[in-house]
Copies of this chain bind each other. A is one copy, B any other.
Amino acid sequence: MASIPVLVVGSVALDDIETPAGHRPECLGGSATYFSVSASLFAPIRLVAVVGEDFPEAHVTALRERGVDLGGLERVPGRTFRWKGRYPEENADAVTLDTQLNVFEHFEPKIPESYRDTPIVFLGNIHPALQYDVLDQISKPKLVGADTMNFWISGEREALVRVIERLDLLVINETEAKQLAGERNVYVAAEKIRAMGPKILVVKRGAYGALLFHPEGLFSCPAVPLRSVVDPTGAGDTFASGMIGSLSESGDFGFASFRRAVQAGTVMASFACEGFSLDRVLTVTRDEFTTRLAQLQAVARVE
């Protein structure tokens, strides 16, 4: 059975990344980039984003070759959104050294007519007012998911709450879930967030895996054991993409399908960590995915 098409709206960026494994200037980045490249392993992906005149044509080609539908990728005058960050240690959070919004500052996502009835929609980590605008432009999808971050939770809380009300699924880091709910206990925080709108909540815990809160139950997914992390940038977006890709394949949003989706997200995020930028995500094959999923399931086996 064919996978359900997925619409993703988010950032496409040029990153400058330092980790204990090295330094990579001027590389491909952005939430929608990681999401669409990774999810294209599973589903037809429709990308809505903006880049500037300086965005290398080679990156556009790489996205196209991966099968991403670029009908919603605008190129406008100015420079591409840039982010510079450093991870002081393995498993540490990034320290942002520089952010240049550039063309992203005046970005207003325009959903092409042909995208408006896409059955699955994922709102990457951008200003919640823009996420809201996207929802106003589309017909009622089967599933609407989103990611967000601490910056919007503290600075744009009201706009964020308005978006969250309209979600079926929120994917969020543990620290940010606690921040959003104003609760130190993750299970209590999850309950409060689900009361705000999304029936389904996935809490990402980095090297500790993820928690799925679903109306039919709770699932605690371990992380893939990684002996080294080259660059964790985009791991969260790649996690979401594996989840959404897996749901797009199954077309089923029940607990068993969501448990499997969280495992798929976990596996895809592990690939993202193994190389700088999208290096590893761009080369992952379906066989590699399947092998690693089996490894993850072996590690999680309780009986």
* Chain A positions near chain B (C-beta within 8 angstroms): 89-91, 184-188, 205, 207-209, 217-223, 225-229, 256, 259, 263, 296-303
Contacts and interface: CB of A to CB of B under 8 A. Distances in A.
A185 B90 contact: yes
A300 B298 contact: no
Contacts of A227: 185, 187-188
Contacts of A263: 302
Contacts of A298: 217
A184 B91 contact: yes
Contacts of A226: 185, 187
Contact of A301 (B89, B188, B302): B302
Contacts of A301: 219, 259, 302
Contact of A208 (B205, B218, B303): B205
Given A188-B227, A208-B208, A209-B220, A302 B259 contact: yes
Contacts of A185: 90-91, 226-229
B259 A299 contact: no
A300 B217 CA distance: 11
A128 to B, nearest CB: 28
A130 to B, nearest CB: 34
Contacts of A221: 302
Nearest to A91: B184
B225 A184 contact: no
A300 B259 CA distance: 10
A303 B300 CA distance: 10
Given A188-B227, A219-B300, 11 more contacts: A91-B184, A185-B227, A185-B228, A208-B208, A209-B220, A219-B299, A220-B223, A222-B222, A297-B303, A300-B302, A301-B302
Contacts of A296: 302
